[in-house]
Structure 1
Amino acid sequence: MTATPRPTVLITGASSGIGRATALRYAARGCRLALVARGVDELRLVEAECMAAGAPDVLVHSADIGTAAEVDAAFAAAVERLGSVQVVVQNGAVAAFGEFIDLPAEVFDSVIRTNVNGAANVSRAAVRHFRATGCGQLVVIGSLLGHAAVPYMGAYVMSKFAITAMVRMLRQETRRTPGIAVHGIYPGAVDTPIYPRSANFFGRRARVLPVKDGPDKMARAIVAATDSGRSSEHQVGKANRPMLVAYRFLPSAFDVMVGPLLRLGGFRREEQEPMTGNALVPSEAVCTR
């Protein structure tokens, strides 16, 4: 019996959280990996973990996905080192906490640049590569907050609504292209370092909501989607369905309750000085104390 070929996988935002968990899952399957993020130090740690988990080859590449030329360079490096790429996981993203009017323009612009322009840059490069090679799967990590708007994360919410639209559009445009699949994965609250590292202009420290999941649950959903080989979209999280039902069918009640619930569950009592966090610099450069 011929063994099923193991795909080569390129992952953005691979230095922590969902990206790291996804890299480790593919590594355990013996996949070759290209790990992409702005900072290199944390990527090197993930590289070592992936090699120990079973990846035969791991490329570490520093790139700001908000710059199309850097994304193209990352794909070129992956192809040169690893050959064609069969799976791309677009996970890189940043967040910012605070009321919409309190976010400095440069922070708002940076969130949109990374989360929308960056996701578009990666998706464009991936689909072009897949069309040239004849096959491939793109996984775009969106969010529950791309389907239900909440306060105090305005730039992030706006960016993730754009991602939901992009995934649907890409599925439509690739329908008649055999061998190409596009997947949207929409996590709810996930316990990752994004909370202490993000820009924060709310006045209190951000924290993950009590109803949460671990990054490995998202990684399992990502790998399962690519195992299917068919374009798909999945809400992944304990609170996703109840929140979507309330948002869609009880909008007035939802809008009354969501602010107090987020103020109670989404922020600690400790005060937080305004900080730009990883909106402007790599996560590993952010002091979270």
Structure 2
Amino acid sequence: MTRNQDRVAVVIGASSGIGRASALRFARHSYRIVLASRDAGTLEVVARETRRLGSPTLIVPTDISDETQVQGLVDAAVSEFGRIDAWVCAASVFAYGRFEDVPADVFRKIIDTNLIGVISSVRAVLPVFRAQGRGGLILVGSVFSKVAAPYTSGYIASKHGLLGFAEALRPELPRGISLSLILPTTIDTPIYQHGANFTGKEVHALPPAVAPERVARAIVRSARRPRRQVVVGQTQRLTIPLQILFPTLFARLTQPALLAIALRKGPVADSDGNVFAPTPESNGISGGWRRRRRIRLASAGLVAASLLAILRVVGARTR
């Protein structure tokens, strides 16, 4: 069995949010680490943190939507450390807006990054895993891999696609190669402040926001003990059975909920955010959403109202 200090984790999307938190978590578990993202400057900062924790660290600036760069990442990791044990795809970009208001190139870049790029990266690393006879794929999807909501069609299409890809690929993998799909709910990262926005309103995270470190723990656990799917976040995971059991009611509730909580104030100028290029201010771990008590209280009211509406529907059906 490979000791932790001999294991190598490649983290794509390591400059911010879930990816950055995961890199630090792997370092605390004594992995050797390869950091990848589009922002070389921020990767240097993260590398100082992982090295301070005692982990040998390699930086490979990579745009996951560029197949040549992704292959270069695989080659660099193997050249430096001789193996890859965990391949973590945590890079994602995001856009809020009506489908017809989101420019086609923004929509396409979301699909290229969140879905096609991840698929290409899996294709690039699988030969290494097969040669080793072992390895772990850890793909970060979303609760939106299983439910849908308006104003985020590109993101939701990409995450639904990732779920389908993972479920189709897993039976094809030989013994020793695992695939874990992580499904976070709303996570307290900067993606909401710095994603693309074509709504004319300020974007707020749908509460309750979960600490990115919780997702990082799930990712590192999956590297050590693979699991098929892991949902992170207790409250919003209820949306999965709600949409299955009450699809029409769920669809009716999501639009007013988003308009009341996630899309407020304005006017705000349209922006493609960090979809095409990283922004330094978007590269922290936290987005500060867990400190916003008023939003959490609004969430409790929304959940209560939703449950009341569902109970009324169920009651009407049984009468």
RMSD of aligned Cα (Å):
1.8
Aligned position for 1:226: 223
Q: TM-score, normalised by structure 2?
A: 0.85
Match runs of 1:12-27 below 5 Å: 12-27=12-27
Deviation digits for residues 31-66 of structure 1, max 9, x if unmatched? Answer: 1100000111111111111111221x1111111111
Amino acid at match of 2:238: P
Q: Could you say which structure has the higher strand fraction?
A: 1
Matched with 1:246 is 242
Equivalent residue for 1:284?
A: 280
2:171 aligns to what SS in structure 1?
helix
Question: Residue type matched to 2:74 in 1?
Answer: F
Say whether the 8 Å CA contact 1:27–1:33 is kept in structure 2. yes
Q: Could you say which structure has the larger radius of gyration?
A: 2
Amino acid in the other structure paired with 1:112: I
Return the offset for 1:105.
0.6
Q: 1:112-143, CA deviations, whole angstroms, 9 ceiling, x for partnerless residues?
A: 11111111111112222101221100100001
Question: For residues 128 and 144 of structure 1, what CA distance do their matches in structure 2 show?
Answer: 30
User: Do 1:247 and 1:254's aligned partners in 2 also have CA atoms closer than 8 Å?
Assistant: yes
In structure 2, the CA distance between the partners of 1:34 and 1:262, relative to structure 1 (3 Å rule), is same
Bigger shift: residues 152-161 or 205-214: 205-214
- Preserved CA contact (<8 Å) 1:11 1:36: yes
Instruction: Identify the range of structure 1 (2-11 vs 139-148) with the bigger mean alpha-carbon deviation.
Output: 2-11
1:211 corresponding residue in structure 2:
208
Kept in 1, the 8 Å contact 2:182–2:229? The answer is: yes
Residue matched to 2:120: 121
CA deviations on 1:66-111 (whole Å, 9 max, x unpaired) are 1111100011111111221111101111011101110001101110
Match status 1:84 vs 2:63: no
Contact 2:191 2:282 in 1 (8 A): no
Question: Could you state the TM-score of these two structures normalised by the residue count of structure 1?
Answer: 0.93
Q: Which residue of 2 aligns with 1:181?
A: 178
With over 3 angstroms needed to count, the CA separation of the structure-2 counterparts of 1:231 and 1:169, relative to structure 1, is farther
Tell me, yes or no, if structure 1 residue 192 matches structure 2 residue 189: yes
Alpha-carbon distance in structure 1 between the residues aligned to 2:4 and 2:67? 33
SS in 2 for 1:279: coil
Query: 1:268 Cα deviation (Å)?
Result: 3.5
Hey, what's the Cα distance between the residues in 2 that align with 1:203 and 1:275? Answer: 9
Check conservation: 2:44, 2:59, Cα contact below 8 A. yes
Identity %: 33
- Supply the distance in 2 between the matched residues of 1:132 and 1:285 (Cα, whole angstroms): 40
1:51 corresponds to: 51
Q: Which whole-Å CA distance do the structure 2 matches of 1:243 and 1:285 have between them?
A: 31
What CA distance in whole angstroms lies between the structure 2 residues aligned with 1:138 and 1:89? 6
CA contact (8 A) 1:192 1:215 kept: yes
Which has the higher mean CA deviation after the structures are superposed, 110-119 or 278-287? 278-287
Contact 1:212 1:238 in 2 (8 A): no
Please report how far the alpha carbon of residue 30 of structure 1 lies from its aligned counterpart in structure 2 after TM superposition. 1.3
Which residue identity does 2:159 align to in structure 1? K
CA distance in 1, matches of 2:221, 2:124: 23
Q: How does 1:1-20 map to 2 (within 5 A)?
A: 6-20=6-20
In the alignment, the residues of structure 2 paired with residue 94 and residue 200 of structure 1 have an alpha-carbon distance, to the nearest angstrom, of 11
Give the Å deviation of 1:285: 7.8
| Matching residue of 1:148 | 147
1:201-243 Cα shifts (integer Å, max 9, x gaps): 0111212112120100000111111221x45211111233311
**More helix per residue: 1 or 2?**
2
One-letter amino acid of the counterpart of residue 171, structure 2:
Q
- Whole-Å Cα distance in 1 between the matches of residues 10 and 219 of structure 2? 13
CA distance in structure 1 between the aligned counterparts of 2:13 and 2:232, rounded to whole angstroms? 19
2: CA distance between counterparts of 1:209 and 1:193? 13
Specify the SS of the correspondent of 1:275. Answer: coil
Q: Kindly provide the amino acid, as one letter, of the partner of residue 166 in structure 2.
A: V
Checking the alignment, whether the CA contact within 8 Å between 2:4 and 2:31 is kept in structure 1 is no
Give ranges in structure 1 of 5+ residues lacking alignment.
Answer: none
